[in-house]
Structure 1
């Protein structure tokens, strides 16, 4: 937002090509509707009017160049004009961007300053054009003078209404600092000023600010002054979303009926193959494609690493990068997202470690306004959860789910306000969506240590186990299983879960019958619960070993690795090892997994399982493993390349196999001493 990166035209570009590109760029800017700018309306209108005059000048220039080619001296002025128009297009796009209206309002002075600078660049570029660039056309010369004069004199300061609205927002943030709730009508007037009229509009604003916050934290900008304002605005919008809107509405009907063409739809035709979506540096699918000054597109992480290593050239073209600014390539990103959606995946299925670290940094509010605003909003939510009508409870459960999703401080505030007992009460709701939102909210709160403690103290363990078994929606069952995973981080909670008769059989059933995500959650949850001998016995009685043996044939490597890890935990006890050995062909499958797994942790779990089986099964099991031709090469490879613990276990297994086979071999015949006579009978 408001960064205004631009790509300079090549110095060797022909005037005709540059003019054609400039015409397309000016036409795109001039086609914007002046009514689409909720902030800085007068300045944006001035910029559009000047652009339309400029477009008329460029069209005159194109007609004149058909008779007499443009002189080479025109390249400098047209290039400067091209860069200025790129910046103007980006600036106007930011001003009209859905979801960023409140942010632009609070930065109205900065936006006006940038707009004034860009229009000044347009005027300067017009002034440096050669006098004869328009040929003999008097109309073209008059249009050029008009563009220059109007660009220099354009009044682009913030509108008076924008200033009053921004002042009103700051006064409401000041009330939040004292944990006081602002007047609802004042908040409604501010939102109306920038066109935020529905719950959906408000949610878009919160999502944009959250993305801005996490991006700054991912880049290590914890001391960025904007973080305080962003957090305060998020709290203000959350408060407005809860107080001003009675229901969670869908996206606007006009948007749903006639959606804007996505970049992916408009650009899919020129994408030759999926190879074009691979980063030229890593040769992997790009997740955050950006374009550098040379026009090449890379994944943001890889090109950042390239530049930080001291390389200031484009990896593909070898040209020197004149700027370290990276422009997000929304067209390529849209194509990648559509490609992944068609294949059932998402760009954000596995958040990066940097993203998780950024979320962890939200454990404290950035400023007293954000802290007070969140607490006021949470107090309103708890009141509706506890005393509201069924419809109010339904909306409040959804708001809690969104509020606790990616902000640690929000989770802490909800736990402190006793949200957990009321959410547990909603698990018995007859409304499937209410139940689903309550389970998802509890999942988010269980990621917080205080949330786990509150859930157990409120007697929620058995209710969560019941939700795994009988929740109306499959997603709710999966989320309930994930809650047990977070609870299993505490040994005392594991014992409590193990004492519930239905807990372990329910997880085993989910492993057998669930979807991919359900099985995944059940596997990791049961792994945490099985920390005692009694729980392992219950898992064996529930048929866990047979289910895990079937999962070893899954085409998902993570499912196979988790299954082996759980078998290794079961085999730590003699009864568990006996059950594993009783399952025919299971040891062979584990040996195959040891050789085929590309995961270091997967190999570690495999060798741990085999060592436990040998330890509890005795020499008979060791001899059986010694007959498997694929085992010894895998063990030797693990000794060389595996982790220290895995290497130690692999060495122990090799020694045991050698010991058993040497013990079984008959002793070699002893040769008689030299010089003794031998009598053959």
Structure 2
């Protein structure tokens, strides 16, 4: 049977070319053929594969029947394709990604599996099994799958949770201090955790390190400093454990030899070099001097160096990373506590004195003693405080570059602030306190597309912190943000300007000032016409928030929103059905909006279909609109509902099993239609 793809699906790239059923069978077989399970999420993965295999049998049988499909089944199959496609990507990510990072994220990943099963259940809600020409066995299996999906609960593997706790304990030891040395790592527990997720050979360790490095690079643009720091901690732990495995025999011999020698008064590097007994792991060597790192620090590129070496490099006038050649966006040196802990532990396990200062000069010894006193004084400071200090230092440095830098430097600084503001309320507060907002507002007028895009996105991210909303508006940002929305140099800049307007309009006073701005609503409608699917959604969300404020309703209506929103309801590619319905439901609450909405001849049949196939929110707003259209002189709409054979059963179904709001409004609409029928002696049952 040749079930062609809906045109919007084929053109948008959501589905591959070819028939819908062929695509479903192909992708289901891809998932079903994933025989080798990942080392994490084993039960969630295996259960999901079993579900997909069952659906594959359904798809194959439908294809073999060669019978026409009801429209609702095509909608269901389309949604199932989207779900199975995401299942495939999720399982592949579990298999190909870092096992350790997946273990730390076990709750998040388990929740993704849970959400996909729930989406599968919602898709099967609209599958008309009784209208499909399939065998009783397949029908019963699909019905059982549907019931299971509807009542499924989040599954968290107890063994994985325990492994995660063990791993966190090992990582936490890196953040604990005492007066002698930084936290002591339980290497046996660490190796037990690593072995439990399949890391047993040197090759396994190398592959895991590569995957963690790839994850760190990926998260560097989206995850924030703390996430990247956690991944770097994992890399250090795996590297250390690997070095223990590879050189365990050499280390044992070295321990015995070292015990026979008095090394307490010798320079550490000279001792190791002259005796050639204990090889220094490559991970512990400074890339500049190749000596053991006593005080490892991380530079802006993410690479680690010994503090003395990299300080000399920077003080000599260099502004690049020696290892990568990358220009350093800032010169802050962030302590690598995880690696420092591993170096100290390695020294202790090999009876090597921990000498933090190489020079024996009085000035160097003074600095060394001062450093130790300082470290003892801040033992009580938490890792969070250290992280916040690093954010503050970075933010102040970047704001300086915004103020004084060349366009190239400003572009980089705005991008860094954009990323820094993406994660964490503390980050957003600290960046604002560093004075970033006025400079970012000024950069909204930049002729450089990337500077403008980074500036408006940084302001969007900062605005999530409520106090920053006031600071952004006080800095005169509103006119500039609306200008970017109207004619920004990139579509992403326009979309993020719309999202910023939504964020700012959460404050009631700003709803009024934004709505009163002559360009704001027309600019949002412009993005609603021209934007990408994400841009249309941002614009619709902002409009909806503005329309909550009653005086803004007339502004939105006069600007021509109603016919545009109705057109978007009929545009499958737009993907904002619920958002458009929500705005119309707000606008029908005023007389001017009701008059505009009543002019449409296509809206009522569309709303009747949405009563059956829309989302829960879509059904609620569809009833709101139909009820508003039938009241106060809406007899014609009521008659159109009565003669449509699908409207009354849909309303009765929602009155019995819809949401609380849907039930209440469906009852009200049925009573209204019943009165209308009574006048014609034909009451509604």
TM-score (norm 1): 0.52
Q: Does 1:412 align with 2:429?
A: yes
Q: Does 1:87 align with 2:103?
A: no
Q: Which has the higher contact order (CA 8 A, sep 6+)?
A: 1
Q: Does 1:622 align with 2:638?
A: yes
Task: Work out whether residues 236 and 338 of structure 2, in 8 Å CA contact, stay in contact via their aligned partners in 1.
Answer: no
Cα RMSD, aligned residues only: 4.6
Alpha carbons of 1:649 and 1:421: their partners in 2 closer, same or farther (altered >3 Å)?
Answer: same
Q: Displacement of 1:596 after TM fit?
A: 2.1
Q: Displacement of 1:475 after TM fit?
A: 1.4
Q: Displacement of 1:551 after TM fit?
A: 0.7
Q: Distance in 2 between matches of 1:489 and 1:647?
A: 29
Q: Does 1:526 align with 2:652?
A: no
Task: Work out whether residues 228 and 367 of structure 1, in 8 Å CA contact, stay in contact via their aligned partners in 2.
Answer: no
Alpha carbons of 1:368 and 1:381: their partners in 2 closer, same or farther (altered >3 Å)?
Answer: same
Task: Work out whether residues 415 and 450 of structure 1, in 8 Å CA contact, stay in contact via their aligned partners in 2.
Answer: no
Residue 365 of structure 2 is matched in structure 1 by none
Task: Work out whether residues 551 and 560 of structure 1, in 8 Å CA contact, stay in contact via their aligned partners in 2.
Answer: yes
For residue 513 of structure 1, the aligned residue among 502, 524, 530 is: 530
Q: Displacement of 1:623 after TM fit?
A: 3.3
For residues 279-334 of structure 1, what are the alpha-carbon distances to aligned partners after superposition, in whole Å with 9 as ceiling and x for unaligned? xxxxxxxxxxxxxxxxxxxxxxxxxxxxxxxxxxxxxxxxxxxxxxxxxxxxxxxx
Task: Work out whether residues 639 and 650 of structure 1, in 8 Å CA contact, stay in contact via their aligned partners in 2.
Answer: yes
Residue 476 of structure 1 is matched in structure 2 by 493
Q: Distance in 2 between matches of 1:623 and 1:84?
A: 68
Q: Does 1:503 align with 2:631?
A: no
Task: Work out whether residues 418 and 458 of structure 2, in 8 Å CA contact, stay in contact via their aligned partners in 1.
Answer: yes
For residues 16-50 of structure 1, what are the alpha-carbon distances to aligned partners after superposition, in whole Å with 9 as ceiling and x for unaligned? xxxxxxxxxxxxxxxxxxxxxxxxxxxxxxxxxxx
For residues 400-423 of structure 1, what are the alpha-carbon distances to aligned partners after superposition, in whole Å with 9 as ceiling and x for unaligned? 122222333222211222212111
Residue 386 of structure 1 is matched in structure 2 by 403
Q: Displacement of 1:110 after TM fit?
A: 6.6
Residue 660 of structure 1 is matched in structure 2 by 676
For residue 664 of structure 2, the aligned residue among 631, 648, 658 is: 648
For residue 604 of structure 1, the aligned residue among 620, 628, 637 is: 620
Q: Does 1:613 align with 2:629?
A: yes
Alpha carbons of 1:623 and 1:366: their partners in 2 closer, same or farther (altered >3 Å)?
Answer: farther
Q: Displacement of 1:197 after TM fit?
A: 3.7
Q: Does 1:195 align with 2:323?
A: yes
Alpha carbons of 1:104 and 1:558: their partners in 2 closer, same or farther (altered >3 Å)?
Answer: closer
For residue 638 of structure 1, the aligned residue among 646, 654, 674 is: 654
Residue 161 of structure 1 is matched in structure 2 by 285
For residue 483 of structure 2, the aligned residue among 443, 466, 474 is: 466
Q: Distance in 1 between matches of 2:443 and 2:383?
A: 32
For residue 584 of structure 2, the aligned residue among 559, 564, 567 is: 567
Between the two proteins, the alignment pairs up a number of residues equal to 403
Q: Does 1:377 align with 2:394?
A: yes
Q: Distance in 1 between matches of 2:339 and 2:590?
A: 52
Q: Displacement of 1:545 after TM fit?
A: 0.8
Q: Distance in 2 between matches of 1:423 and 1:229?
A: 39
For residues 466-509 of structure 1, what are the alpha-carbon distances to aligned partners after superposition, in whole Å with 9 as ceiling and x for unaligned? 11111111111111111111122222111111110111111112
For residues 235-283 of structure 1, what are the alpha-carbon distances to aligned partners after superposition, in whole Å with 9 as ceiling and x for unaligned? xxxxxxxxxxxxxxxxxxxxxxxxxxxxxxxxxxxxxxxxxxxxxxxxx
Residue 665 of structure 1 aligns to a residue in which SS?
Answer: coil
Q: Displacement of 1:156 after TM fit?
A: 5.9
Q: Displacement of 1:617 after TM fit?
A: 4.3
Q: Displacement of 1:424 after TM fit?
A: 1.0
Q: Displacement of 1:461 after TM fit?
A: 1.6
Gaps of 5+ in 1: 7-80, 124-152, 174-180, 210-224, 231-363, 668-681
Q: Distance in 1 between matches of 2:411 and 2:624?
A: 48
Deviates more, 1:506-515 or 1:83-92: 83-92
Q: Distance in 2 between matches of 1:379 and 1:201?
A: 12
Q: Displacement of 1:202 after TM fit?
A: 10
Q: Displacement of 1:398 after TM fit?
A: 1.8
Task: Work out whether residues 109 and 158 of structure 1, in 8 Å CA contact, stay in contact via their aligned partners in 2.
Answer: no
